[in-house]
Each structure stands twice: as structure tokens, then as C-alpha cells.
Amino acid sequence: MCIGRIAALDREMTHSVIELNPIAAEIARRLDLERRRGRVRGPLHGLPVLVKDTMTGAPALRDAPLVARLRRAGAVVIGKTNLSEWANIRSNRSSSGWSGRGRQTHNPHVLDRTPSGSSSGSGVAAAAGFAAFAIGTETDESIISPSSANGIVGIKPGVGVVSQAGIIPISASQDAAGPMARSVEDAALVLGVIATRPADYRGGLRKGALRRRR
């Protein structure tokens, strides 16, 4: 379903997905069969996820720790997302969401509005329903800003809560990876899975906590 949505909507309109996993459907079928047989790997069993890309022209030699945690929890990595090239610092006139390989990412709500960045593709893909959730990275607002621009929820965890391994380093005291999803509960669930010390962050949520606060 998600791959079909990407094919129908993303390639000519939003440009949020830069690479698709050619065996994603096969992995999903295998996980569906496991569920029917009573085996559930974890809270993300069978859910499709898109992960922010890091570089072009270099195949990943191994999974980053957070990707390994996603897979162990049952998530299906269906591809990688577009991003603001060079973390959007290649020029003081650079456009959020543009990369030489992925072209310009577009906000799915209004195509001529900014998707923000640098986790542009992850924000757009999560908002457009191209995956159940996405993973972004942030040094300074690169998860929070595109989440706001695309109408979703993004969490930048404290440094060290999620492993930095596999992230192109900009600032060791600020770099972090985090979830981008369409609800607070979903984002909290994913954060608990990818955290170095797994936890159920949903326990800290309170219905109506933001009432009259914005």
C-alpha cells in the first residue's frame, strides 16, 4: 500500500523518497505470515518505516544501531528519504529539501510551501502517509522544523538517548536521531524502540495536557 502511494504521488509531486528497498514487499509478506502463526517480533511488527538518507554513492555496509532496533521490533524499512543537501548549509540561499539526487522536496499540503529541513523527506513522507512513521536527524531544528511545517509530530531526543552511530557528524553535543509520525503516541512508541535503553514513553502522555496552552 505505501509503496503504491509513493509510486502514485511522490515521484512526480513531493519527491520525498530517494530510494526504495527492492525486497520490502517480500519482508512484509514474511512478517504477515509470522503474525498469522502467532509470532510478533515487537511493537512495530509489520509497520513500514522510511529512514533519512545520509550520503549518495556509498552502500550501507551494515545497519546503524537504531535501524537494527527497528528491524528487531518488526519494522519494515521500505526506503530512504530525501533531505536538504549538506544539512542545508551549502549556501546562505539554499532551499530546504533540495538535494542533487532527490531534487526539490515539496510540502504535501501545499506544494509551493516549504517542507523545511533538513529532514525534509522524512517530514513529508510521514505527513503524506508514505510510511507509518519516519526517522529524521537533527543538529538544530532539523526534526522539529519539518515536523511543524508538514503538520506532524517530531521528537528530538536528548543527546545519547538514541545512538549517534551512522549519523554524519556535525556536532557531537547536539546531533540526534528521532521519530517523525502523525501522532504523539506513535512518535513516543517509536522513540521507546530506538532508544539505547528501551522504554515505553507513552506512559508519560496525558490526554488534554495541551488544553488551553496554545
Is 156 assigned a catalytic role?
no
The torsion defined by the Cα of 97, 65, 153 and 17, in degrees rounded to 10, comes to 30
Catalytic site includes residue 118: yes
Backbone region of residue 86 per phi and psi (left: phi > 0; alpha: psi in -120 to 50; beta: other values): left
Say how far apart CA 179 and CA 78 lie, in whole Å. Answer: 15
Burial label, 42 (beta-carbon count in 10 A; 0-12, 13-18, 19+): middle
Give the H or E element holding residue 127: helix 120-128
Beginning with the edge strand found earlier in the chain, give each strand of the sheet holding 17-20 in spatial order: 17-20, 76-81, 48-52, 133-138, 176-181, 153-154
DSSP strand pairing (48-52 vs 76-81): parallel
The catalytic residue among 16, 116, 119, 142 is 142
Q: Determine which one of 96, 99, 116, 118 is catalytic.
A: 118
Is position 142 annotated as part of the catalytic site? yes
Helical packing angle, 184-194 and 65-72, nearest 10°: 110
Catalytic residue among 16, 52, 116, 122: 52
User: Which residues are designated catalytic?
Assistant: 52, 118, 142
